[in-house]
Structure 1
Amino acid sequence: MAGRNHLPPNALNLRQLPLARAPSHSTLIDDPRLLRRVAAPAPPPQAHPAVIEEHIAVQHREIQNLFLDNQRLAATHVALKQELVAAQQEIRHLSGAATTVKADRDAQVREFYERSLKFEAEASAIDGLNAELSQVRADVQKLSVDRKELAAKLQTIDEEIVSSRSELRLFPAIKEEIETMHREIQRGR
């Protein structure tokens, strides 16, 4: 293709040639430019029939070997296809199992998170209860002190009651004595 627009070197010299008959076909074939482009295969040398038979036998063995290789490759191809299908099925199965495992793990994480929130709330409530418990303990101590004071006052009151009862026993005698004095005063008038 590159030589499509290429002129042969003697093309411009055609005017200088005498008008004569065109060169014969054999002359054109001997042109070196044409020989490069259209080279006719050389006829094979005649071989002995035993050599040809041996050559055919070798080619036949090669064909048989290629045929066996082709069968092995076809069997290997079928086996590889089956393995590929099995591997794809296993991948689908494992993908499904992985999805299930991921869903289970997500559920467990969610459950642990909810538990941690619950424990946090309980811990906050316990902190509140601890503060309340401290207040109750302080109140109990104050009430204990108040109870001791009241117990001491009650003891004093009990002692006063005992004392008043003993005085109350004396009251009828004192009353009798006062009445006696009243009568004596009335008599003395």
Structure 2
Amino acid sequence: MAVKLPKLRRVQILFLILTITIMCTIFYLSSQDAESSSDTSSLLTKLAVKLLYPQYDSESDDIKREMWSKASFIVRKLAHFSIYAALGFCASVTVWKRKLISAKNPGVIVFGFLYAVSDEFHQSFVKGRSCEFRDMMIDTCGVTVGLIISLILMGIIALAVKRRRKRSQ
């Protein structure tokens, strides 16, 4: 007896592909050793420091080091949060329509948390990288925010469609 799978809509297939692409990107970034990862985040840190504090170059070396350290930490954690927010958004759209209170919502969060755990575990085998519980929590918060954004957008779209149908009747 064959199990009948639900038919996926084109939008769901697109967001499934995006979800898998984001997961592969996270895996790739986590595969970088500490030096390569630092080089990647340094580009963003430099941009952030220059934009937010134009006088950076005229500061003393001690102040520069402190500012760089803080900015680098923030950029790295925002990167974690942002990519996992994108993952949460795409995974949420993949599971499709649902009510605000739905069993699928915690499922998306658990999926994101488990992927974050596997990502951090993977990093523990990469030279100079570590497995950090804090990053798992930041990642899970990102997934949750991505989920919330998707629910808001899907609600707005559903409301717009409902209004359009009402007007056309």
**Structures share a fold, TM > 0.5?**
no
TM-score, scaled to structure 2: 0.23
Please give the TM-score of this superposition, normalised by the length of structure 1.
0.21
Q: Does 1 or 2 have the higher relative contact order (CA < 8 Å, sep 6+)? A: 2
